[in-house]
Amino acid sequence: MNYSFDFQSVTRNLGPLFDGLAVTLQLTVAANAIGLTLGFVLALLLMSPWRLVRLPVILFVEFFRCTPALVQIIWFFYCVPMLFNVFLGSITMGILALGFNLAAFNAEAYRASIQAIPREQLDAGIALGLNPVQRILYIVLPTAIRASIPVLLTNGIVIFQQSALVAIVAVQDLMYQAKSLATQTYRPIETFSVAALIYFAVSFPVTQLVDYLERRRLAVAG
Amino acid sequence: MRDQPAAPLVSVSGLQKSYGALKVLKGIDLTMKPGERLVVIGPSGGGKSTLLRVMMGLETINGGSVTLAGKPYIRAGATPARTVIDIAVRRSIGMVFQHYTLFPHLNVMQNLILAPCKVRGENKVKASERAAALLTRFGLGEKLTAYPSQLSGGQKQRVAIARALMLDPRLMLFDEVTSALDPELVGEVEQVILQLAKQDMPMMIVTHDMWFAKNIASRVLFCAGGVIVEDGPPEQVLGSPKEERTRDFIDRVFHIRQ
């Protein structure tokens, strides 16, 4: 291959890329805020003794787990406005699509951790006179969150990467900026390589942190 | 007045409990006077742990009722799901379980003061002082800030007992609290329970440890097949049981221990 690399075309235009990164991070943080809170509520509802409560939640969770994120995003941008006559701005719609997707995956992580809490531990809570809300707040929530942190972090960083999909619906995130820069400079190899490196630079420390937490948890358990 | 027998602390009448088609308790009647220490022995699946769990209000029931100090606090309803449990009365009972009793995300002190502060609204400083005094009495004065994962099994169970005592229970239930422990750790936990016995704490204990049963019981119940087969002083039930089934069980248990 006879190609002369020109990374300067990218380094001269880092500004827009970092603006894009800021949008990507904004999407990630907001989607995680939804995913972490809504996910826990969904997990509790999933374990409800009443079928009427469980059923719609199961549908919600399975919809997001069993369809491609790309389809979900497109559906949110094009179908939701037409069906329900609401459009809340492209970033907000992006946050909702990613946030609901993450909530569905986090709900499963929480549910697994909640179900792993030994029954005697909850019995001890009853024996100590804690009411159901206090048992959730002081026993279930802290234990389940601690146990699910590695999975929640992994899901969170997956959403950071998945957020690149919103570029397709004109949210000006890192991927969108990279695409337009590549078109302007005719340097797709350099531009997308740098974009990939930026995604990597953010994700890698988090995956390392997850590994560390997993090792520590195993060490404590063993 | 003085000649009248003391009013019962606990009375259980006609207690029935099934798990699906399986009848675990088939009509238990039992009264316990204040200051008594009942040890419940019997084969696995005989209903002894279930009896304790029902008394703690952890299970629904199919029939009967349980009364504490004259207040009926557990009553069967039309269906098991309708079992009526008086939560205020239930709070005056403490229970210690076989495993996983401590909350792993809280240190020893936090485990002890959680319920007093949240349930009774006790001042945190006061609760901490009481907790420290109790833990010191149980030989755990240096473990106040340790987490459950840093404690031995015996230490965990002693903390669990202290935690239950923080709510000043009128009755303590011990459900096989030494069964999951390494043999060399059993003694330290039993010592703590014996210490409580000396202070006349009313208690009901499910155990497989016959030495402990003999030493702590003021009365022994032999429970099998969902009924109380024999009920009497420890010398009788453990030493010269009247019932055939009790004798078989005692023979087998002591045989294994030799």
Distance separating alpha carbons of residues B43 and B210, to the nearest angstrom:
13
Strands (E), A77-162: none
pLDDT of residue A220: 64
| Cβ-proximal residues to A132 (8 Å cutoff; 6+ apart), any chain | none
Predicted confidence at residue A222, as pLDDT, reads 43
Residue A32's pLDDT is what? 97
- Kindly write down the DSSP assignment for every residue of B53-119, as one continuous string: HHHTT-S--SEEEEEETTEEEEE--SSGGG-EE-HHHHTTEEEE-SS--S-TTS-HHHHHHHHHHHH
Which pair of tokens denotes residue A175? 């991927």
Q: What is the pLDDT of residue B258?
A: 42
Closest Cα of chain B to A102: distance in Å?
Answer: 26
- Domains of chain A by range and CATH? 13-216 (1.10.3720.10)
The CATH superfamily assigned to B10-98+208-257 is P-loop containing nucleotide triphosphate hydrolases (3.40.50.300)
Which residues of A are less than 8 Å from B99 in CB distance? Answer: 118, 120
Any CB–CB contact under 8 A between B98 and chain A?
Answer: yes
State residue A168's pLDDT score.
Answer: 87
Residues of A with CB below 8 A from B203's CB? none
pLDDT at B76: 87
- Walk along chain A (222 residues) and give the pLDDT tens digit of each residue: 778 888 888 888 889 999 999 999 999 999 999 999 999 999 999 999 899 999 999 999 999 999 999 999 999 888 888 888 888 888 898 999 999 999 999 999 999 999 999 888 999 999 999 999 999 999 998 988 888 999 999 999 999 999 999 988 888 999 999 999 999 989 899 999 999 999 999 999 999 999 998 888 777 654
Q: State the DSSP H helix or E strand holding residue B229, giving kind and residue range, or none if neither.
A: strand B227-232
End-to-end CA distance of chain B: 49
Contact B99 A124 (CB under 8 A): no
Q: What is the pLDDT of residue A221?
A: 55
CB contact under 8 A, B103 and A129: no
Q: Which long-range contacts (CB under 8 A, 24 or more apart) does B138-145 make?
A: B138/B162, B138/B192, B138/B195, B139/B188, B140/B108, B143/B108, B144/B107, B144/B108, B144/B109, B145/B107, B145/B108, B145/B109
CB A47 within 8 A of CB A111: yes
Backbone angles phi, psi at B85, to 5 degrees: -125, 120
Averages of pLDDT over runs of 10 residues in chain B (258 residues) are 69 91 91 92 89 93 92 88 88 90 92 94 94 93 92 92 94 92 88 91 92 91 91 88 87 65
Contact B167 A121 (CB under 8 A): no
Looking at residue A7, what is its pLDDT? 85
Contact (CB, 8 A) for A110 and A148 = yes
The reported pLDDT for the residue numbered B5 is 62
| pLDDT in the model for residue B256 | 52
Question: Which of B93, B97, B163 is closest, CB to CB, to A123?
Answer: B97
Q: Do A123 and B118 touch (CB under 8 A)?
A: no
| pLDDT at residue B171, rounded to an integer | 94
In this complex, do B118 and A138 lie within 8 Å of one another by their Cβ atoms? Answer: yes
- A126 chain-B contacts, CB cut-off 8 A: 56-58
